Structure 1
Amino acid sequence: MQLPHFDADRFLRDHWQKQPLLIRNPWRAWRNPIEPDELAGLACEEGIESRLVIQSGDSWALEHGPFAEDRFAPLGASPWTLLVQAVDHHAPDVAALLAPFRFIPDWRIDDVMVSYATDGGGVGPHFDQYDVFLIQGLGQRRWRVGPRCASDTPLRPHADLRLLPDFQATGEWVLDPGDILYVPPGFAHDGVAVGDDCMTYSVGFRAPARPDLLVEWADHCAAQMADDALYADPDLRPAAHPGEIAPAAIDRLHAMTIDALQDRDAFAAWFGQHVTTPKYPDADWRPDAPFTAADVGALLAEGATLLRNPASRIAFLRRGEDLLLFADGAAFPCAADVAALAERLSAQDQLVLAPAMAPGADLLAALLNQGSLLVEEPDED
């Protein structure tokens, strides 16, 4: 699935993280990838993150799933919105919506959130700290976009929702099925369903927060250090004043904390594992029985097709002719004879196996056994 007339270079130059952009239906043939009833069914399942926003006049209420199957019928005609996170993990046709946006590196992708709203439904005027492409899937939605907000922008008092009290729109559009609205981080926006059966697909991109990155990297470094890595001053001289922390002591202490953090290669290897950790790490995608070397050999011989688990996160770092592949928080060193296979695994949603891929058999087995790859089942027809 591609956008035939979309200029990615121009978009990145003029709009990415700079200003919103409305893209009128750019698809060759738009088709809504999931039905409202299927979305509601996902919202009823354990382990799938879902929310229900209900409006009553100027008040807003938020409920968290999973929901009982009969929760939605009593809501009637009042404006309400159902939001389900990471639908791309469970619906291949929704996962396919990511393909046109992969000119942005995969490690930046968060997930595809899907919302369903009745007439007048929405989540209120707000701003997010991430880039998002809002794809209209079914029905219509009126979007209003306002100025860029900041961390000190005032919010309405609400225990669960971060709503803007004084939203002033600078642009307004009604989106039809297939239309896309790009909203950069920080820009105020408000989407309201025009009529019933309004579905919107939010392709969201993440950016690590500096405080989180620093804390998690420092925690990792600390965990690698020996317990006896203590401050030492074998060249200590008599103190000029017993209460002074001497400059030489500060230099030593500062070096103790900074030296490990400055190891760029170690940081790169850690970050690859960190950024590919699954969004929902408690989900278990492992096969019922582990794949053996013989199993993988048989798959290679028969030309089986492997599918990338839509819930998996895969990336790599180049190291000369070799590379380091990361998949769902695990690292796999790949020598030159396996590097091309690893690159294909990180770029393609499916891979047709061949005997020539035998040097990568151990890698394939490991990825199959942790659920990052799945074997395509033969078509019963």
Structure 2
Amino acid sequence: MRLSFLGGLTAQQFLREYWQKKPLLVRNAFPGFTGLLTPDELAGLACLEEAEARLVQNKGDKWLLRRGPFAEEDFQRLPQTRWTLLVQGVNLFLQEGAQLLEQFNFIPRSRLDDLMVSYAPKGGSVGPHFDPYDVFLIQGMGHRRWQISTQSDQTLLPGAPLRILQNFQPEQEWITGPGDLLYLPPQCGHYGLAQDHCMTYSVGFKAPYTQELATQFLVYLQDEIKLEGMYQDPELKTQSHPAEISPAMIRKVGAMLRQIRWDQDTVQRFLGTYLTEPKSSVYFEPPARPMPPEKFHQQLTQGGIRLDLKSLMLFHDNTVYLNGEAVEATAEDLPTLIALADRGNLAAGTRLNESLEKLFYQWYRAGYLVLEQAP
């Protein structure tokens, strides 16, 4: 199936020819799109304690960075030009943001990060830089000039609070307007400059560094591995230097540590919990007065259910992962859980057995699920 917002390419064509390979510009990819929220509404999100917001100002050769949460007075003191407000994870607060991300479901959900929205008056920018991940840049209101470069020189501007390229050499340039889309692969240098009051919607994808994966995997193994035995040395010999760590001790401990093993199942379980673990700034709000199971059953049947905007749900084989927790699903329950993970909701009238309804009730009380209102 051809996707109009990819310029008529099929998902397979895009992945084969562009994904992590070269940029793609599509004019009017989203006809009539001018954005999902106003600059004032974005500023309101930036004032929330749980939001991840940044304010970037450019004063000549100087770059200034402030992190939220902000107060209304912070915006009143800003100049007329040359600043940018960025808010991460707008899809966690705005249903329309989550729906926009669904357009990109041809890329596995395990790779999706979030929707970042930026607002800038004329001259606003975060400087020339590169991202280590794939990004789709959708223009909302206003216009932005984009310059891109595939240069290998990634020298950064010294002393800057942002990762700004010191020797940016643009190779291509476009001005994007409402509804235009620009895809950029990892490590593609880019420099966006607001031509007027403009907002840009950035769909970003996870690309964890090997060091981060290794560190988190070792943390995960702490609770998973169980090694037998303890250190013993019945053949202990005297040493000329009591403070020396002996070669024999090093060999023994090395042999003990070689008991650490993992297989594909271990990696799968790690990825399921790691990829669905909410960010540290995310908090779930359980219902203040949870309804009893009987009332829950009635409303679930009549209105259906959906994942909370902050919830992350993936699966592999018969294991389902929700917000860092793993559930082993029965063959009977698995199709329904997969449907919830794929679509983010279950329609009214979906038939559920007793065990699945009990699980959903637990998730509802934890704030992971939200009941829909009956039509």
Q: Give the number of the structure whose residues are more often strand, by fraction.
A: 1
Alignment of 1:235-250 (within 5 A): 245=247, 250=251
C-alpha distance in structure 2 between counterparts of 1:6 and 1:119, whole Å: 33
Classify 1:105/1:66 alpha carbon distance in 2 versus 1 (closer, same or farther; 3 Å): same
Per the alignment, in what secondary structure is the counterpart of residue 161 of structure 2?
coil
1:362 corresponds to = 358
Match of 2:43 among 40, 43, 50: 40
Match of 1:49 among 34, 49, 52: 52
Shift of 1:374: 0.6
C-alpha distance in structure 2 between counterparts of 1:113 and 1:207, whole Å: 16
Alignment of 1:97-108 (within 5 A): 97-108=100-111
Task: Give 1:37's aligned amino acid.
Answer: D
C-alpha distance in structure 2 between counterparts of 1:13 and 1:362, whole Å: 43
Deviations 1:103-160 (A, max 9, x none): 111111111010000101100001111111111011000011111558xx32111252
C-alpha distance in structure 1 between counterparts of 2:136 and 2:350, whole Å: 40
Classify 1:330/1:124 alpha carbon distance in 2 versus 1 (closer, same or farther; 3 Å): same
Task: Give 1:119's aligned amino acid.
Answer: K
37-46 vs 357-366, greater mean Cα deviation: 357-366
2:340 corresponds to = 345
C-alpha distance in structure 2 between counterparts of 1:255 and 1:183, whole Å: 47
| 2:55 maps to 1:60 | no
The gaps in structure 2 that reach 5 residues or longer are 239-243
Shift of 1:261: 4.0
C-alpha distance in structure 1 between counterparts of 2:22 and 2:255, whole Å: 42
1:184 corresponds to = 185
Deviations 1:144-185 (A, max 9, x none): 1111558xx321112521111110011111111111111111
RMSD value over aligned CA atoms?
2.7
> Is the CA contact (8 Å cut-off) linking 1:56 and 1:78 kept in structure 2?
no
| 2:83 maps to 1:84 | no
Classify 1:278/1:159 alpha carbon distance in 2 versus 1 (closer, same or farther; 3 Å): same
Shift of 1:194: 0.7
C-alpha distance in structure 1 between counterparts of 2:258 and 2:26, whole Å: 46
> Is the CA contact (8 Å cut-off) linking 1:89 and 1:310 kept in structure 2?
yes
C-alpha distance in structure 1 between counterparts of 2:208 and 2:295, whole Å: 39
- TM-score with structure 2 setting the length: 0.89
Classify 1:147/1:51 alpha carbon distance in 2 versus 1 (closer, same or farther; 3 Å): same
C-alpha distance in structure 2 between counterparts of 1:30 and 1:90, whole Å: 19
| 2:155 maps to 1:154 | yes
Alignment of 1:300-339 (within 5 A): 300=300, 302-318=301-317, 323-339=318-334
Per the alignment, in what secondary structure is the counterpart of residue 158 of structure 2?
coil
C-alpha distance in structure 2 between counterparts of 1:76 and 1:225, whole Å: 56
Shift of 1:272: 0.4
> Is the CA contact (8 Å cut-off) linking 1:286 and 1:368 kept in structure 2?
yes
2:12 corresponds to = 9
C-alpha distance in structure 1 between counterparts of 2:246 and 2:257, whole Å: 21
Classify 1:64/1:225 alpha carbon distance in 2 versus 1 (closer, same or farther; 3 Å): same
C-alpha distance in structure 2 between counterparts of 1:88 and 1:192, whole Å: 24
C-alpha distance in structure 1 between counterparts of 2:18 and 2:103, whole Å: 16
C-alpha distance in structure 2 between counterparts of 1:3 and 1:154, whole Å: 37
- TM-score with structure 1 setting the length: 0.87
Per the alignment, in what secondary structure is the counterpart of residue 192 of structure 1?
strand
Per the alignment, in what secondary structure is the counterpart of residue 61 of structure 1?
strand
Per the alignment, in what secondary structure is the counterpart of residue 72 of structure 1?
helix
Task: Give 1:91's aligned amino acid.
Answer: L
> Is the CA contact (8 Å cut-off) linking 1:292 and 1:365 kept in structure 2?
no
Shift of 1:34: 1.0
Shift of 1:70: 2.4
Shift of 1:66: 1.4
| 2:367 maps to 1:371 | yes
The gaps in structure 1 that reach 5 residues or longer are none
Classify 1:63/1:355 alpha carbon distance in 2 versus 1 (closer, same or farther; 3 Å): closer
Identity across aligned pairs (percent)? 38
C-alpha distance in structure 1 between counterparts of 2:294 and 2:328, whole Å: 22
Deviations 1:337-377 (A, max 9, x none): 10011001101132113262124212211221222211124
